[in-house]
Structure 1
């Protein structure tokens, strides 16, 4: 994918019914599990059309934030692991997408995440 194609990519993902949005400044989600499952074949077609986009991840996130499609989240470490803390805690990548083939793990929220570890 080229930098200039990001707006069209986002528009096409939205058109599938998926609520693509940035999560913080380090990752983005294509949508929730149900949306992604329902739009699976269309998302694969979009992935094939635009090709690899990992090199543009920060640009996709910046674009999503610029159009108001973002959620800011502060993650807290569980108290039983480190004692009570108010320090933000980031987590590793939960979803990897490779040319339409996804290896994914579900979070309790049901969202699939793409992002840097």
Structure 2
């Protein structure tokens, strides 16, 4: 697992502050967009201004896990 860079951490913190529900999922992550229109537009602006984040995929997922924001796999019986 890659150590998160400051850039990855800043993006996650900005999106969480904007009201996103972000979770690490496998080797990636998902972003749950806020329901209210103003917050959702703010999130789109953050993502647009940030630019490409594909190269930070692992770092973002790693940081989300480190702060307890991951999807747990269901236990197999």
* Superposition TM-score tier, normalisation by shorter sequence: 0.7 to 0.9
User: What whole-Å deviation, never above 9, does each CA across 1:63-86 have from its counterpart, x for those lacking one?
Assistant: 111111111225xxxxxxxxxxx7
Does the C-alpha gap of structure 1 residues 65 and 19 become closer, same or farther in structure 2, counting only changes over 3 Å? Answer: same
Which SS does the other structure have where 2:29 is aligned? strand
Runs of 4+ in 1 over 4 A off after TM superposition: none
Could you list the runs of 5+ residues in structure 2 that have no partner in the other structure? none
Structure with greater helix percent: 2
The Cα shift of 1:56 comes to 1.0
Pairwise CA RMSD: 2.0
The Cα shift of 1:36 comes to 5.6
Q: Please say which structure displays the higher CA radius of gyration.
A: 1
Does the C-alpha gap of structure 1 residues 30 and 37 become closer, same or farther in structure 2, counting only changes over 3 Å? Answer: farther
Q: Number of paired residues?
A: 70
Which SS does the other structure have where 2:21 is aligned? coil
Does residue 10 of structure 2 align to residue 28 of structure 1? Answer: no
TM-score by length of 1: 0.51
Could you list the runs of 5+ residues in structure 1 that have no partner in the other structure? 75-85, 87-117
TM-score by length of 2: 0.73
How far, CA to CA, are the matches of 2:57 and 2:36 in structure 1? 22
Aligned to 1:69: 69
Aligned to 2:10: 8
The Cα shift of 1:40 comes to 2.4
Does the C-alpha gap of structure 1 residues 36 and 21 become closer, same or farther in structure 2, counting only changes over 3 Å? Answer: farther
